[in-house]
Amino acid sequence: MRRLGAAALSRRRLTSGSEGRELSRACRFKVRLYGTEPLTSPTAGINAREPLLFTPGPLTTSPAVKQAMLVDIGSRDPQFVAKIKNVRESILAAGGVSIDDGFECVIVQGSGTFGVESALASAVPLEGSKVLVVANGAYGHRMAKICRIHSIDLSVLAFAENEVPTAQAVKVALENDVSLTHVAVVHHETTTGSVSPIDKIAQAVKSVRGDDVTLIVDSMSGFGALPIDLIVGNIDYLVSSANKCLESVPGFSFVIAKKSKLETTKYNTRTLALDLFSQWRGLESNGQFRFTPPTHAILAMDHALREFEEEGGAVGRLARYRHNHSILVKRMTKLGYKLYIDGEIQGPIISTFLTPSDKEFDFEMLYDKMASRGIAIYPGKLTEVDSFRIGTIGRLFEGDIHFLASTLEDCMREMGIPVPVNY
């Protein structure tokens, strides 16, 4: 088994000119996040000893995004307050909207779930409301769980994990139950990697009782790459996180909300920390967070959003992810692996592969072997079938995908797993 040294690893990761420049910039700062060995090559530094994360978050970020965090800044520092403003406005721009279009960006400290819980617990009035939760995977069902915890009346429209929700089924559900006031749906179901027809679903939702039905979209792992039109879709709330397609570090989520809807939520308070209305009013009143801000994560995001724009926004990012995904599928197919969902609903963000039947295939062992070679893959999350997942988002390029596939093949041969695998 051939082991890659630090220099070889770095070479493989130098996949584009801009990446190379980022690396050398990183090296000047000599940041060492992993390991205690001295730096051995001009490109060694952040990336040489850092794993590549083929996961949907935390994910691989650029050296420059990491560098942006190397400052301790006070929560009231005018420069930091300006960064918060810029991040909020740039997130709106990433979604193709602005304050002038009637949208607000509210940042919520914590992981993505904090944002989803904040949106649900704040958008739904305490009385006289009922949420239709559309679920085709773990994240849809998580929204249902959030509703139950907050004693929010709900109805679950469930689909199989290898399906996507249909606009027609959502429409019928709304027509059949006039007490439904809100719809909550996942854009990209990270459980499988499927992309729901969000534009059609949005259109169906608003076709039944117009703006009387509030639409909440969890676009956690889709926003910033997969197309979504907030204005045409008349979407009221969209939730995502810094740590997905916008390629920043974990630390906060955000909600893009229609101002006209937010303004009606003052008395919906169910929680203190996740009260979206108060969070918004707090940010608007003095530009600061109500509670301790994720300072370093905001600084990282400020830079990540610049990189996002430089790459051509969601269009550019989607093109790279599609390219990564197509190489992944080609190489994995050669190794015999099968995708769980059909190509028509498969997105380029994360791919779910079925676990082969070969007795030598032990995911835990494979995971550890890959991790020891600097690659993190992801376990499956399906309820009925054994699977594992490989993400293609984050600061990953073509060369990284080839590196992953070659390393996987090496590890398989070392473990005695047949190549190609059997089902």
Ligand X SMILES: Cc1ncc(COP(=O)(O)O)c(C=O)c1O
Contact stretch for ligand X (CB under 6 A) within 8-16, 111-119, 153-161, 174-182? 111-119
248 is a site residue for ligand X (CB under 6 A): no
Q: Which stretch in 18-26, 66-74, 213-221, 405-413 sits in contact with ligand X by CB under 6 A?
A: 213-221
56/95 with CB nearer ligand X? 56
Q: Which two tokens stand for residue 328?
A: 């992944």
Q: Tell me the β-bridge partners of 390.
A: 351
- Closer residue to ligand X (CB): 27 or 341: 341
Task: Say how far apart CA 350 and CA 138 lie, in whole Å.
Answer: 15
- Which region among 66-74, 112-120, 158-166, 256-264 touches ligand X (by CB under 6 A)? 112-120
C-beta of 152 vs 411, nearer to ligand X: 152
CB 193 within 8 A of CB 415: no
Site membership for ligand X, residue 294 (CB under 6 A):
no
> How far from 402 is each of 115, 179, 259, 375, 398, CA to CA, in Å?
35, 52, 45, 12, 6
Place of tokens 């494979």: 366
Rounded to a whole number of angstroms, the minimum distance from the CB of residue 168 to ligand X is: 23
Q: Which two tokens stand for residue 27?
A: 């090296």
Query: Considering the complex, what minimum distance in angstroms separates the CB of residue 351 from ligand X?
Result: 14
Q: Which of 218, 247, 275, 358 binds ligand X (CB under 6 A)?
A: 218
- Give me the least distance between CB of 87 and ligand X, in Å please: 18
Options 196, 221, 295, 352; binder of ligand X; rule CB under 6 A = 221
122 touches ligand X by CB under 6 A: no
118 binds ligand X (CB under 6 A): no
Phi-psi region of 247 (alpha: psi -120 to 50; beta: other; left: phi over 0): left
Q: How far apart are CA 59 and CA 52, in angstroms?
A: 8
Question: What is the full DSSP assignment across 107-126?
Answer: EEESSHHHHHHHHHHHHS-S
109 touches ligand X (CB under 6 A): no
Q: Which is nearer to ligand X, 113 or 122 (CB)?
A: 113
Q: How far apart are CA 351 and CA 325, in angstroms?
A: 8
Contact by Cβ (8 Å): 283, 99: no
Could you give the CA distance from residue 211 to residue 207 in angstroms, rounded to a whole number?
9
Among 44, 116, 184, 215, interactor with ligand X by CB under 6 A: 116
Mark the segment that binds ligand X (CB under 6 A) among 80-88, 175-183, 216-224, 332-340: 216-224
Do residues 167 and 200 touch, judged by C-beta distance below 8 A? yes
90 binds ligand X (CB under 6 A): no
220 part of the interface to ligand X, by CB under 6 A: yes
Q: Distance (Å, rounded) from C-alpha 325 to C-alpha 193?
A: 11
Q: Rule CB under 6 A: which residues touch ligand X?
A: 56-57, 111-113, 116, 139, 186, 190, 218, 220-221, 241
